[in-house]
């Protein structure tokens, strides 16, 4: 069995890959997925400089595919994470496609001397707690370390709700202010924005996974912004800033 990385610049090859993605999401969720659009996947799969590069893998004849974040050997970033999510239609399961993709991922990890693999998967709403990924992981020597819950917020919110929340809680946040920007980070804030991105992974609670700070600098922030624009997305960032020191303490985008 053989998988090849496809050139996302090729409409024919990319369309074949995206078709498998859509069919796999429909098989998992019972409907077309509400995830990224074709242009968004394409933008993240072309720029070789991007830390979140998502190579697209396709078996000849389009039977199964995979995507993931390619590991880097950056001297200042001892990243231990690889990400890969095999995509298969239900009829294509138990034919060895997932095992072959996993072998490719493990080989890449060994080449870069990465000691730990953390693989993220998504369970459909009809298979929570019993998804095939659970038995697959155990059968290949992996264990479930963490489980996350996704909650969707209905939008728009009822009229006046946001104003009420702002008026209720703003008096308690006198030491901080909320600033926001669109498109690109103001030059005077880009280093602070990079610092927050670097330490964010260590701030989130984890069960027993040792997470290290990432390497972020101004250049990576600008690359992230450029890729977001190529994806056709509007970038809106809100940040909390300490009034006395001017230090950024948190952000959301």
Among candidates 219, 226, 233, 221, which has minimal Cα distance to 193?
A: 221
Kindly compute the dihedral angle of the four CA atoms of residues 158, 234, 69, 123, in this order, to the nearest 10 degrees. Answer: 20
Report the pLDDT value the prediction gives residue 16, as an integer from 0 to 100. 84
Q: What is the mean pLDDT of the chain?
A: 80
Q: Please, are residues 35 and 25 in contact by the beta-carbon 8 Å criterion?
A: yes
Q: Determine contact, residues 92/79, Cβ cutoff 8 Å.
A: no
Return the pLDDT at 82.
46
Q: What is the pLDDT of residue 106?
A: 87
Specify the higher pLDDT residue, 20 or 67. Answer: 20
Per-residue tokens: 18: 């995206």
98 band by pLDDT with thresholds 50, 70 and 90: confident
Which has the closest alpha carbon to 186: 237, 243, 223, 249?
237
- 244 confidence band (pLDDT: 50, 70, 90): very high
SS3 per residue for the chain: CCCEECCCCCHHHHHHHHHHHHHHHHHHHCCCCCCCCHHHHHHHHHCCCCCCCCCEEECHHHCCEEEEECCCCCCCCCCCCCEEEEECCHHHCCCCHHHHHHHHHHHHHHHCCCCCCCCCCCCCCCCCCCCHHHHHHHHCCCCCCCCCCCCCCCCCCCCCHHHHHHHHHHHHCCCEEEEEEECCCCHHHHHHHHHHHHHHHHHCCCCCCCCCCCCCCHHHHHHHHHHHHHCCCCCEEEEEEECCCCCEEEEEC
Tell me: pLDDT of 87 over 60: no
Higher per-residue pLDDT: 196 or 131: 196
How confident is the model over 150-202, as pLDDT tens digits? 787 898 999 999 999 999 998 998 999 999 999 899 999 999 999 999 998 88
C-beta pairs of 201-206 under 8 Å, 24+ apart in sequence: 206/146
Q: Under a CB-based contact definition with an 8 Å cutoff, are residues 82 and 109 in contact?
A: yes
């Amino acid at each position: 069995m053989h998988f090849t990385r496809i050139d996302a610049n090729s409409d024919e090859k990319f369309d074949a890959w995206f078709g498998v993605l859509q069919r796999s999401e429909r098989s998992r969720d019972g409907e077309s997925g509400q995830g990224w659009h074709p242009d968004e996947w394409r933008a993240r799969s072309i720029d070789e400089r991007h830390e979140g590069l998502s190579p697209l893998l396709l078996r000849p004849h389009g039977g199964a595919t995979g995507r993931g974040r390619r590991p880097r050997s950056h001297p200042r970033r001892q990243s231990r994470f690889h990400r890969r999510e095999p995509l298969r239609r239900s009829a294509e399961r138990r034919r060895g496609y997932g095992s072959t993709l996993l072998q490719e991922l493990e080989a890449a990890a060994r080449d870069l001397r990465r000691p730990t693999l953390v693989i993220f998967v998504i369970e459909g709403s009809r298979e929570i707690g019993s998804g095939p990924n659970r038995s697959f992981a155990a059968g290949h020597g992996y264990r479930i370390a963490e489980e996350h819950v996704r909650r969707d917020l209905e939008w728009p919110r009822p009229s006046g709700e946001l104003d009420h929340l702002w008026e209720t809680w703003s008096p308690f946040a006198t030491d901080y202010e909320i600033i926001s920007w669109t498109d690109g980070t103001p030059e005077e804030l880009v280093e602070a924005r990079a610092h927050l991105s670097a330490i964010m992974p260590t701030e989130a609670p984890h069960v027993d996974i040792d997470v290290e700070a990432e390497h972020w600098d101004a250049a990576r922030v600008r690359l992230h912004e450029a890729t977001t624009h190529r994806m056709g997305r509007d970038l809106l960032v809100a940040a909390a800033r300490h009034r006395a020191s001017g230090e950024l303490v948190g952000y959301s985008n």
